[in-house]
């Protein structure tokens, strides 16, 4: 059982990944820099970003400051980024990887994911990730937003089994089918939008459990993730919330409480293939990288 921010799960290649970290989607570079620095100051060991978020530069600055100030050692830190949709394909993926490393001011990544499975291209993209892994540039490779069908394709056509599938996971969306499939194939589940992008915290069942433990709704949800063995990466740019979200090690949800939260599953996704165009190269949304005004470095790719 995970006991603190340094608690790790062992991935299928033996790499140890923290079970809890910071997400930074929709944070601009300055906010991401400050949030990452504050998180590392408060003992976080993991950061989840993506080229698509347009804030690898800010994340890199926050990490560089934290390393320089001795808040953490590089070997204790776990950094994830993701292949953007417009970079799919073997040659592009290899070529664009160095940009991610440079923006993050790192010489290797801990985990590199395919952000969304662009149909017709993701197998080639996976081949590039396998080669980046073989070259020692990333410690583990995985995918995000893959359904069972697309994972099966990858398992058939790839050489390496993905270490991670990062999918939406929160009280309303508990990915039952994927949980079973991933377990069966040694793929670790990582959950995005653990707080339902903010909305899951108002659920009355969660509220009652929170009251019983003297904790907040966010803490109950994040504790549920950890007790479910799902790696969780709540996003906040506020230092007080960073501390609150990470303060989940001093209580345990009972079997009945775990069951009650499992009962909230509506199997409802906030973003998925049909309604959301990130699975194709031909949609504006899928091609878009968030371009924060303070980071021209994000404009050139």
Ligand X SMILES: NC(=O)c1ccc[n+]([C@@H]2O[C@H](COP(=O)([O-])OP(=O)(O)OC[C@H]3O[C@@H](n4cnc5c(N)ncnc54)[C@H](OP(=O)(O)O)[C@@H]3O)[C@@H](O)[C@H]2O)c1
By CB under 6 A, which span of 2-10, 20-28, 99-107, 172-180 interacts with ligand X?
A: 20-28
53 annotated active-site:
yes
By CB under 6 A, which span of 6-14, 83-91, 197-205, 250-258 interacts with ligand X?
A: 197-205
Q: Residue from 5, 195, 220, 231 that binds ligand X (CB under 6 A)?
A: 195
Q: Are 54 and 83 in contact (CB under 8 A)?
A: no
Binding characters for ligand X, 99-138, by CB under 6 A (x = yes): ----------------x-----------------------
Residue 115 to residue 52: CA distance in whole angstroms: 9
Give the helix, strand, coil percentages of the chain, each rounded to 5.
Answer: 45, 15, 40
The smaller minimum CB distance to ligand X, of residues 65 and 241, is found at: 241
Total residues binding ligand X (CB under 6 A)? 26
Closest approach, Cβ 186 to ligand X, in A, equals: 20
| Strand pairing category for 78-83 and 109-114 | parallel
The smaller minimum CB distance to ligand X, of residues 69 and 113, is found at: 113
- Residue 204: CB atoms within 10 Å: 9
By CB under 6 A, which span of 18-26, 132-140, 146-154, 282-290 interacts with ligand X?
A: 18-26
Judging by beta carbons within 10 Å of its beta carbon (0-12, 13-18, 19+), is residue 243 exposed, middle or buried?
Answer: middle
Q: Is 270 helix (H, G, I), strand (E, B) or coil?
A: coil
48 binds ligand X (CB under 6 A): yes
Residue 28 to residue 37: CA distance in whole angstroms: 14
Closest approach, Cβ 222 to ligand X, in A, equals: 9
DSSP calls for 244-271: HHH--SS----HHHHHHHHTT-----SS
Picking from 35, 15, 58, 42, the residue whose alpha carbon sits closest to that of residue 291 is: 58
Q: Are 18 and 167 in contact (CB under 8 A)?
A: no
286 binds ligand X (CB under 6 A): no
Buried b / exposed e over 99-119, threshold 16 CB at 10 Å, is bbbebbebeebbbbbbbbbbe
Q: Which residue is nearest to ligand X (CB)?
A: 23
Closest approach, Cβ 49 to ligand X, in A, equals: 7
Could you say which residues in the range 221-280 bind ligand X, by CB under 6 A? 233-238, 241, 244-245
Closest approach, Cβ 171 to ligand X, in A, equals: 11
The one catalytic residue in 37, 44, 53, 112 is 53
Closest approach, Cβ 150 to ligand X, in A, equals: 14
The smaller minimum CB distance to ligand X, of residues 151 and 255, is found at: 151
The smaller minimum CB distance to ligand X, of residues 52 and 295, is found at: 52
Closest approach, Cβ 209 to ligand X, in A, equals: 15
Residue 300 has phi, psi (to 5 degrees) of -85, 5
Q: Are 132 and 81 in contact (CB under 8 A)?
A: no
62 binds ligand X (CB under 6 A): no
- Residue 98: CB atoms within 10 Å: 10
**DSSP state, residue 187:** P
Q: Which residues are catalytic?
A: 53
- List residues near ligand X by CB under 6 A: 23-25, 48, 115, 144-145, 166, 192-198, 201, 218, 233-238, 241, 244-245
């Amino acid at each position: 059982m995970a006991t603190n921010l340094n608690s790790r799960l062992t991935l299928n290649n033996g790499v140890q990944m923290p079970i809890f970290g910071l997400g930074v989607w929709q944070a601009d570079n300055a906010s991401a820099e400050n949030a990452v620095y504050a998180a590392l100051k408060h003992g976080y060991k993991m950061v989840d970003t993506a080229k698509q978020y347009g804030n690898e530069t800010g994340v890199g600055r926050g990490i560089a400051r934290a390393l320089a100030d001795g808040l953490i050692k590089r070997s204790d830190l776990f950094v994830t980024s993701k292949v953007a949709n417009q970079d799919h394909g073997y040659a592009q993926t290899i070529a664009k990887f160095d940009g991610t490393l440079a923006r993050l001011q790192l010489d290797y990544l801990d985990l590199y994911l395919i952000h969304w499975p662009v149909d017709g291209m993701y197998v080639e993209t996976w081949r590039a990730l396998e080669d980046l892994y073989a070259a020692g540039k990333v410690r583990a490779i995985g995918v995000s937003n893959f359904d069972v069908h697309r994972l099966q394709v990858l398992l058939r056509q790839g050489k390496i089994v993905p270490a991670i599938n990062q999918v939406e996971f929160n009280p309303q969306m508990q990915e039952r089918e994927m949980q079973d499939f991933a377990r069966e194939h040694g793929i670790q589940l990582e959950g995005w939008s653990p707080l339902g992008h903010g909305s899951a915290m108002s659920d009355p069942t969660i509220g009652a459990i929170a009251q019983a433990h003297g904790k907040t709704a966010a803490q109950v949800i994040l504790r549920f993730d950890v007790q479910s063995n799902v790696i969780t990466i709540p996003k906040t740019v506020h230092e007080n919330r960073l501390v609150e979200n990470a303060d989940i090690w001093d209580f345990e949800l009972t079997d009945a409480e775990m069951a009650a939260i499992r009962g909230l599953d509506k199997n409802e996704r906030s973003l998925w293939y049909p309604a959301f165009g990130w699975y194709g190269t031909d949609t504006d949304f899928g091609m878009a990288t968030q371009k924060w005004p303070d980071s021209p470095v994000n404009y050139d790719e």
